[in-house]
Amino acid sequence: MATIDEELGQLERDIRQLKIEYDQYFGGGRKRPPTEIEWRIDLLVKRYAERGGELKFAQRFRFNNLSQTYAKYKDIFRKRTAQKEEGKIQRHFGAAAKEIEAARARKEAEGHPTAVAAGESRVFRITCSEPERETEKVDLLYQAFLQAKQTAGEETENLSRSSFNEFVRKKTKELQKQKKCRDVEYLVEVVEGQVKLKALVKS
């Protein structure tokens, strides 16, 4: 039986695939909308909406982001489908999807205490002193980094949670030793489409 993290990973992949297949449908590359994959996503979203109490904080954070993205995509799909049926379809679905991602990023920046808007960039901040014990913080940092790269269209296939956790652990210890500090602040920053992960010493 799949774990919660595995199912959330599948949900994330299905949402990406659904966007691709709808893009093909609206562009004339396929005859019918991808209703089967949409039905599968609906079932999973409904299941975890009802089982929210079983999710850990990081899992709930990830699920909420995925379900919000999916809800906004569904609204786009519904409107585009109506336009297609009426013969008014426009060939700008990709741009519309990017705008939805940008709007979601802005909403997260306004609503989540670890994210702030910074000019043309958006920044996710989190502070660690003992990452091996602060697993939820590291999970949130990983999810922010992963989602930022996906939103920016960067490759994520080789990104591993275990290697990321090890990187944060080693980097934190390294900076603590070099700078004689306790807290290390990690930033996930998206600047002009480029994703950057920075580690800074907290003064």
- Give the pLDDT confidence score for residue 50 in this predicted structure: 86
Query: Which tens digit of pLDDT belongs to each residue from 7-46?
Result: 899 999 999 999 888 888 887 777 888 888 889 899 889 9
How far is residue 2 from each of residues 7, 57, 66, 176, measured CA to CA in Å? 6, 19, 18, 38
Query: Between these two residues, 99 and 175, which has the higher pLDDT value?
Result: 175
- Give the pLDDT confidence score for residue 103 in this predicted structure: 57
Q: Which of 79-88, 131-140, 151-160 has the highest mean pLDDT?
A: 131-140
Q: Distance between CA atoms of 189 and 198, rounded to whole angstroms?
A: 8
| Mean pLDDT confidence for 137-163 | 83
Q: Are residues 89 and 3 located together in one domain of the fold?
A: yes
Query: Which residue type, as a one-letter code, is found at position 51?
Result: R
Sign of the torsion formed by the C-alpha atoms of 79, 120, 115 and 12: positive
Domain final residue, candidates 60, 95, 111: 111
- Give the pLDDT confidence score for residue 26 in this predicted structure: 81
Q: Are residues 125 and 177 located together in one domain of the fold?
A: yes
Q: Are residues 25 and 83 located together in one domain of the fold?
A: yes
- Give the pLDDT confidence score for residue 115 in this predicted structure: 42
Sheet holding 194-201, edge to edge: 115-118, 121-128, 184-191, 194-201
Q: Are residues 104 and 4 located together in one domain of the fold?
A: yes
Which tokens hold the place of 74? 């569904």
Range scoring the smallest mean pLDDT among 31-40, 81-90, 134-143, 154-163: 81-90
| Mean pLDDT confidence for 57-76 | 89
B/e letters for 30-42, b = 16+ CB within 10 Å, e = fewer, are eeebbeebbeebe
- Model confidence at 149, pLDDT cuts 50, 70, 90, reads confident
Helix (H, G, I), strand (E, B) or coil at 160: coil
Q: Are residues 120 and 102 located together in one domain of the fold?
A: no
Q: Are residues 20 and 94 located together in one domain of the fold?
A: yes
- Give the pLDDT confidence score for residue 169 in this predicted structure: 93
Domain final residue, candidates 111, 145, 173: 111
Quickly count: other Cβ atoms within 10 Å of residue 186's Cβ. Answer: 24
- Give the pLDDT confidence score for residue 109 in this predicted structure: 46
Q: Are residues 60 and 92 located together in one domain of the fold?
A: yes
**4-26 and 35-50 helices, crossing angle to 10°:** 150
Per the structure, the count of domains in the chain is: 2
Contact 114, 47 (CB under 8 A): no
Q: Are residues 121 and 107 located together in one domain of the fold?
A: no
Query: Which tens digit of pLDDT belongs to each residue from 93-140?
Result: 455 555 555 555 555 444 343 443 333 345 788 889 999 988 888 888
Q: Are residues 151 and 84 located together in one domain of the fold?
A: no
Q: Are residues 80 and 131 located together in one domain of the fold?
A: no
Query: Which residue type, as a one-letter code, is found at position 117?
Result: A
- Give the pLDDT confidence score for residue 172 in this predicted structure: 94
Residues with Cβ < 8 Å from 104, sequence gap 6 or more? 65, 68, 69, 72
Query: Which tens digit of pLDDT belongs to each residue from 176-198?
Result: 999 999 999 998 887 777 888 99
Q: Are residues 133 and 59 located together in one domain of the fold?
A: no
- Give the pLDDT confidence score for residue 91 in this predicted structure: 46
- The parent domain of residue 98 ranges over 1-111
Q: Are residues 97 and 180 located together in one domain of the fold?
A: no
- Model confidence at 168, pLDDT cuts 50, 70, 90, reads very high
- Give the pLDDT confidence score for residue 97 in this predicted structure: 54
